């Protein structure tokens, strides 16, 4: 199975007809890639002011997380 979104190609190989395991791996890759988060956000309209606040909050969280990593 191969899926392309945002120019990124994800590929999962099915080994020994084990489709269940391949689906689990694909779902895990999509989750880590932020695909499901993006789907959730696009389900409903988000006002520009709310979008700006959310992006600022996410950026702040990333900065704090990066600072914690550097602090070790």
The H or E element containing residue 32 is helix 19-33
Residue 18's SS3 state is coil
| Helix (H) / strand (E) containing 37 | helix 35-42
Domain edges within the chain: 1-33, 45-72
Distance of alpha carbon 54 from alpha carbon 17, whole angstroms: 42
Q: Which pLDDT belongs to residue 67?
A: 95
Per-residue pLDDT of 4-48, as tens digits, reads 555 668 899 999 999 999 999 999 999 999 999 999 999 999 999
More confident residue, 3 or 22: 22
């Amino acid at each position: 199975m191969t899926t392309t979104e945002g120019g990124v190609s994800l590929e999962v190989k099915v080994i020994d007809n084990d489709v269940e395991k391949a689906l689990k791996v694909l779902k895990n890759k999509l989750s880590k890639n932020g695909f499901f988060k993006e789907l959730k956000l696009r389900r409903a309209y988000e006002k520009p002011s709310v979008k700006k606040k959310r992006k600022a909050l996410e950026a702040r969280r990333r900065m704090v997380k990066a600072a914690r990593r550097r602090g070790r």
